[in-house]
Structure formats: structure tokens, C-alpha cells
Amino acid sequence: MLVGLTYDLRADYLVQGLDDEQTAEFDAPETIDALEEALREQGFETERIGNLRALARRLVAGARWDWIFNIAEGLRGAGREAQVPALLDAWDLPYSFSDPVVMAVTLDKSVAKRLVRDQGIHTAPFAVIESLGDLTDLRLPCPLFAKPLAEGTGKGIGAASRIGSYEELESLCASLLERFRQPVLVERYLPGRELTVGIVGTGRDARVLGVMDVQIDASAEDGGYSYENKENYENRVRYRLADDDEALQAADTALAAWRALRCRDAGRVDLRSDEGGIPQFLEVNPLAGLHPVRSDLVILAQLAGVDYQALIETIVAAFLARTGMVPS
């Protein structure tokens, strides 16, 4: 089988003038190297395609692959993570991970929270601020937490994200609206543990790979698992596998959210506990990073005794089972 690789290289966008934070979700060359090696170890032939525009050019020129291992994040728009899957659907090419609907729904954190809330899944009360005028009708009590509606990798999160007054909230919302050109998600602040749950599989076949406790050192930047803390995780963050009652509850909540949102193959669900120790859904990442060292899903898998090669094999197995494809 010939497998095409779709991805966004960080370096490609840095040379276009984007900064480090704007390109934080994009991939390093070592990710593509490691992924390609892992696929070849399974007996697949591989071909590097690249980003959305490269894929479009290749498809129009007549190029085809048996299936696509897609980790392309996209650059612009609320549906950026859905763009490559939508194009592959149009050409009837199978691909790993979730479909365009899931990618768009989960990128908008408020839509994902509404959908899981409708299924009875715990998530903190929230509001979406599209302009400063929306703050007039806000009734959520402080402390609050605010972040961009449709970003990942801790972008837009920092020491100012935890808000103690409506004056602070107005100032932060003004800054985020200007900086990210998108609405702001405001949630009730959750003071408990930061937990992330790795999941592999689809629907009834989905299972929890492990629950990871994300512990921010006292010397780290305030604001929790922020962009700066993620970027400098070696000195600021400690990770441990958790299997206590609260972690098991987080696993159940994450799996329920994964299935409710119809995510596929593998990914990560992030949660934070409230003052009573009840894990609350924050967001799901259906396109979790696969850097062989730095990515949370990879770190979690390694803590659970699953090395990089085995993780990619597990993801591929889930994809093949879902599609019914048989390697040749």
C-alpha cells in the first residue's frame, strides 16, 4: 500500500513571516521523519505530500494513494482542520483521523461543549464573547477563565487568563479579540487537576490509552497549561500516569465525549476538575500532535508503556478496522 502523508511544516510558515505562536500547532521535520519511519516499519510505502495547497496540486495533476495519513492542521479559517479531510472526501480517498464535520465542531470549543453537555457530560458553564458588547449580558460569577475560541497548543492562554473581576475580563477580551480575530470563550474557572486522556479507536471500539496528570511547577508561568509552559515543558511541567478514582472518572467522561462527538482513530480529550474533584470536559483534540518526544499523546503513551512505533501501529490498526481496508 502507498500511503500519502499530509501535514503542515512549521518552517514553511515561519519563512512567510508568521511568528512562533502563530505556527505553534504545525509540525517539525522530526515528526514527519518519525511518522514515515514508523509506517515503513509496518511495511507501507510512503510519499510525502505536505499541506493543503500541495495536496490540491497533486490531486488535480492526477496523483493517487491507497490512503492518507493526515496530520494537516490548516492555516486559516474556522474550518481549517476540516479542509484536508473535505478535499480527500471529494476525491474519495480514505484517510486517518476524523472527518470534516468533527474537525470543524471540535475546533470551535463552544460547539463541542454544547454537544457534550446535551449528552449529560460535565462541562463548566461558559459564554462566547464576539464583541465587548456581549459582556453586558454576561452573568457568570468570577473567578473566570478566558481564551480564544478556536486555538490549540495553549495559544492565547497566560497569566492573565484567570480573571478575578469584570474589569479584568473586559481588558482581556479586548486584547484577545484584537490579537486573534475570533470570539473569546469565557468559562467558570476550575481550580482542580489538569488531566488529559488518550483515546484510540472509533465508536464502540474506542478505548482509553491512559490518563495523564499534567502538573505545572510553581516556577512556571501562571495560567495553567499555557503556550509558554507547553513550549518549555521540560522545566515547567511534570507528567504522571494517573489511575485514582478521579482519573478513572476523567477516563469515563473523556470516552463518552469522544463517542458523542464521533471522533475517529485516535486523539486526546482535555479535562480539568472542579472544586469538588469532578472532571469537567474542556476540549477534544481529534488531531493530536505526534512529535516523537514533545507531544502530549506520545508522552502519555510512553508513560503507559507504549513506544512511538507501537502507538502509530495502534492508530493504523484503528484506521484499518474502521475502513475495512486490508494491507497488501
C-alpha cell at 226: 499555557
DSSP secondary-structure letter at 221? Answer: P
* pLDDT (tens digit per residue) in 267-287: 999 999 999 999 999 999 999
Instruction: Sketch out the chain's domains with CATH numbers.
Output: 2-96 (3.40.50.20), 125-188 (3.30.1490.20), 191-323 (3.30.470.20)
Q: Sheet containing 45-50: which strands, arranged edge to edge?
A: 45-50, 2-6, 67-70
β-strand partners of 271: 195, 281
Going residue by residue through the chain (328 aa), what tens digit of pLDDT does each one get?
999 999 999 999 999 888 888 888 899 999 999 999 999 999 999 999 999 999 999 999 999 999 999 999 999 888 999 999 999 999 999 999 999 999 999 999 999 999 999 999 999 999 999 999 999 999 999 999 999 999 987 888 988 999 999 999 999 999 999 999 999 999 999 999 999 999 999 999 999 999 999 998 877 766 677 767 777 778 789 999 999 999 999 999 999 999 999 999 999 999 999 999 999 999 999 999 999 999 999 999 999 999 999 999 999 999 999 999 988 7
Helix (H) or strand (E) holding 90: helix 83-90
Number of other residues whose CB lies within 10 A of the CB of residue 216 = 18
DSSP element (H, E) containing 49? strand 45-50
Instruction: Decide the pairing of beta strands 237-241 and 207-216.
Output: antiparallel
pTM exceeding 0.85: yes
Kindly compute the dihedral angle of the four CA atoms of residues 135, 140, 143, 148, in this order, to the nearest 10 degrees.
-50
Instruction: For CA atoms 89, 84, 156, 257, give the dihedral sign.
Output: positive
Q: Which amino acid, one-letter code, is at 39? A: L
Do 210 and 228 meet the contact criterion of CB atoms below 8 Å apart?
A: no
